[in-house]
Chain A
Amino acid sequence: MLHAKRLPYRFWAETMNTTCHIHNRVTLRTGTTTTLYELWKGRKPTVKYFHVFGSKCYILTDKDYKRKMDPKSDEGIFLGYSTNSRAYRVFNSRTKVVMESINVVIDDVPDEKVPDVDPDVRTYAQETNVLVQVNESEHEEEEIEEAEKDQVSTSKGPSIRVQKNHPQELIIGDPDQGITTRRSIEVVSSSCFVSKIEPKSVKEALTDEFWIEAMQEELNQFKRSELWDLVPRPEGMNVIGTKWIYNNKSNEHGTVTRNKARLVTQGYTQVEGLDFDETFAPVARLKSIRLLLGVSCILKFKLFQMDVKSAFLNEYLNEEVYVEQPKGFVDPSFPNHVYRLKKALYGLKQAPRAWYETLTQFLVNQGYRKGETDKTLFVKDDNGRLMIAQIYVFFMECRTRWFNISFSKCSLSLR
């Protein structure tokens, strides 16, 4: 019983008592139909109050002084039954004493997770050499459920993975392809320093050095642009979760050229009114873009176009926004701290708007006048030379596109 529940040996006396207690009430005397208890006391025993030995239980703390919010019960281990009252004997895990109490709630449900391997499998594994070790480490988490399956898989012939010493996906190129010419090696060499797989979870990514590097790069960029500060977890504020997005960038031949890891916020957990108020960012209408093209023809403008890289990371936030530390990169000395964002991060509800406002601020400082009817139009009149900027914010691609027009020959004042 002690071993089954992994209890220390010092509970042996309690175990003994409980065994006797159950034994007296359950076992039938040979040759009769009565239990031992019945013979002794002359009445039938009851087993209603029996519980599973060694189960987790909760003991009501009725003796100690408690404040309102303090826990009402202590955790303990159920050990047996009192000999002179209806109480249970329990081991209180907090005070480390064996006590008798009647106010106990016992959790009879057996622990479904026993973290060790089934002994059968282990002995089997030792017989069938090293191969099984691989299988074991693979199934570490689901070992119990997989225990039987493991046995099946060990009986299979040795897998390719073990024979080759390398996992298949780390082998660059196709091993069956034969010798490659130098021209095709060029393609291979560019893909030497990238990972070909796109991990599905952080756990998976953290096993790959290229992806760790990619994530580190993203975090370094945040550091460079002073995006956030590590602060203690604030009281009563919604802390937004973060998520890594993994993406392989490939060139026109379809070979992977870069591993891109991007940290995004789970903006859908933001609450309107608390975490953000305005999300709307104006966008140029197609009609006004056409009008602009028409006008530029009449006025002989030359049109230019430009993009702002990672536009959303450039703007400052008005609201206080806190995010969790990125998974896999938690500061070991302050694991409970969160980051306070100074600039917007992808996925935040207010990101497009904040970017629009930053841009507006910048252009107005440069002497541009914001359009009265179209808020995405900026005009600068420089001694009759006209400069027009039309901005277009892509929500999806998180990029800003511009129309930018300069005056070419004749000046407006002549008209």
Chain B
Amino acid sequence: MVQHFIQQMQSEFEMSLFGELTYFLCLQVKQMEDTIYISQSKYAKNIVKKFGMDNGGHKRTPAATHLKLTKDENGIYVDQSMYKSMIGSLLYLTASRQDITFVVGVCARYQAEPKMSHLTLVKRILKYINSTSDYGILHSHSENSMLIGYCDVDWAESADDRKSTSSVCFFLGNNLISWFNKKHNCVSLSTVEAEYIAAGSSCSQLVWMKQMLKEYNVEQDVLTLYCDNLSAINISKNPIQHSRTKHIDIRHHFIRDLVEEKVVTLEHADTEEQLADIFTKALDVKQFEKLRGKLGIFLHEET
């Protein structure tokens, strides 16, 4: 069938480079029986080299747990264009390295006025990349093709304006396919509210992915979204307009509608099982490596 398609294409256009997918947009793809391994090791090595960190130290985590970035008004200015190009390179690396999504996202906020403290953190990320450049996502085959989302929020995370950050990841079967970490654009008064905003944006993602999967003839039942805040789950189920939730009523109705139509259901997940944790805060080595493994980032041995 593929041969037939290639012939068809060749008759119409001038073609080159066919073959199994191996390298695409800096993504190295390795197809094996039952598994697909995606990595950006070449790209990662390149950026580490480009910013002169290839002789730097090695770190096991991308960020220190105690460090909290602020605007750092009195700090020393650093070269903005270099900072920006570092962030840009790292942002593309998150295409296959979700473990650095959180830190890169935090550093990216200070691109307008980068200070020494911010640059130090970016350099630490590069050191971490240096030691883990060969890591990549491993997708494996499974009978289960359920779409699951995990959403978590760090309430009032930003020390500058006290806005919260939501972090969401989605699994298809046991493969991580999508994730994001996003600072809210409004201040939430309570954790429930923040959690609810995060749930709202993840629901719209879920619905999009459900439609996409339909095109691949993969049908989905009720989509499950795990979040670790019981009050948020209760609000989605209980149709009572609470005075505390009045000002978030657009999202409120959006989620409630989806829940009533049985498109999405919100479930509770313990903090232990909350996989989106890695996107919300800097973790210690033990927890970080455990979660990273669960997300499917492995070092693939050359065979």
Residues in A lying within 8 Å of B, measured CB to CB: 286-300, 302-311, 314, 362, 366, 371-374, 377, 379, 381-382, 385-389, 392, 401, 403-404, 406-407, 412
Contacts and interface: CB of A to CB of B under 8 A. Distances in A.
Contact of A293 (B17, B36, B209): B36
Nearest to A303: B21
B29 A293 contact: yes
B5 A362 contact: no
Contacts of B209: 291
Interface stretch (B136-144, B154-162, B237-245): B136-144
Highest count of chain A CB atoms <10 Å: which of B2, B12, B141, B216: B216
A402 to B, nearest CB: 9
A401 B13 contact: no
18 contacts: A290-B178, A291-B178, A294-B176, A295-B216, A296-B36, A298-B172, A302-B31, A303-B36, A304-B20, A305-B17, A305-B21, A306-B18, A309-B15, A314-B12, A373-B211, A377-B212, A379-B217, A404-B2
Contacts of A299: 216, 218
Contacts of A304: 2, 18-21
B20 A303 contact: yes
Main secondary structure, interface of B, reads mixed
Contact of A373 (B8, B29, B35, B208): B208
Nearest to A386: B217
B14 A310 contact: yes
B215 to A, nearest CB: 5
A293 B35 CA distance: 10
A308 B31 CA distance: 23
Contact of A308 (B13, B34, B142, B211): B13
Query: Of A297, A311, A371, A382, which is in contact with the most chain B CB atoms at under 10 Å from its CB?
Result: A297
B1 A401 contact: no
A374 B215 CA distance: 9
A305 B18 contact: yes
Given A302-B20, A303-B21, A307-B15, A297 B211 contact: no
Interface of B: 1-2, 5-6, 8-9, 12-22, 24-25, 29, 31, 34-36, 38, 95, 139-142, 145, 172-173, 175-178, 208-209, 211-213, 215-218
Q: Tell me if A's interface is mostly helix, strand, loop or mixed.
A: mixed
Given A300-B141, A371-B215, A388-B216, A307 B36 contact: no
A41 B218 CA distance: 112
Nearest to A369: B215
B14 A379 contact: no
Contacts of B13: 308-309, 311, 314
A388 B17 CA distance: 18
Nearest to B210: A373
A307 B17 CA distance: 6
A291 B172 contact: yes
A379 B215 contact: yes
B175 to A, nearest CB: 5
B139 A387 contact: no
Nearest to A373: B211
B29 A306 contact: no
A362 B8 CA distance: 10
Contacts of B18: 304-306
Which A-B residue pairs are the 9 nearest by beta carbons?
A303-B21, A294-B177, A297-B139, A309-B14, A305-B21, A306-B18, A307-B17, A406-B2, A373-B211
A297 B139 CA distance: 6
Given A294-B177, A304-B18, A373-B215, 12 more contacts: A286-B95, A290-B38, A294-B139, A295-B213, A298-B141, A298-B142, A303-B31, A307-B17, A373-B211, A377-B215, A387-B1, A388-B216
Given A362-B12, A374-B212, A305 B139 contact: no
A386 B216 contact: yes
Given A298-B142, A385-B1, A387-B1, A303 B29 contact: yes
